[in-house]
């Protein structure tokens, strides 16, 4: 029941935040974007489980959160335990909302013993108006 209440609360927050991202904002969206790389090393024995958590979290974030513009994960070809995620949020408020969602908290809690290292690299886009197709 607690999970249902949490999911409902998150959905309500997202619904009320949508107009901020889709209406009445004539500023270019890229001006306030938060862009970064998350570089992770995953325990090789738990890689399949980690990837399942990651897939579920990314799909939910893109589907449910208008402020999550891109979450794109790749692994190194010769070292699949090294994963990099390109994260693009509409702004820092969207990121703060993201890390409070039930799907993110499920991912974070479920993978905490799988992640051997995590480096968050803040970036500055060189061509911020460029769209990802």
> Per residue in 120-133, pLDDT tens?
999 998 988 887 77
Window from 22-26, 47-51, 53-57 with minimum mean pLDDT: 22-26
CA distance 107 to 42: 14
Q: The domain at 2-21+29-122 falls in which architecture?
A: 2-Layer Sandwich (3.30)
Mean pLDDT on 11-20: 46
Between residues 82 and 1, the one the model is more confident about: 82
What residues does each domain of the chain span? 2-21+29-122
The structure's pTM equals 0.77
Mean pLDDT on 64-92: 97
């Amino acid at each position: 029941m607690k999970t249902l209440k949490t999911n409902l609360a998150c959905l309500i927050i997202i619904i009320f935040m949508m107009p901020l991202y889709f209406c009445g904002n004539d500023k270019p969206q890229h001006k306030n974007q938060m862009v970064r790389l998350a570089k992770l090393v995953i325990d090789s024995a738990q890689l399949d489980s980690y990837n399942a958590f990651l897939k579920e979290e990314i799909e939910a974030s893109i589907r449910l959160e208008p402020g999550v513009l891109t979450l794109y994960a790749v692994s190194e070809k010769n070292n699949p335990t090294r994963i990099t995620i390109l994260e693009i949020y509409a702004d820092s408020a969207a990121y703060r909302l993201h890390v409070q969602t039930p799907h993110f908290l499920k991912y974070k809690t479920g993978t905490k013993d799988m992640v051997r290292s995590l480096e968050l690299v803040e970036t500055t886009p060189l061509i911020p108006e460029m769209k990802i197709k």
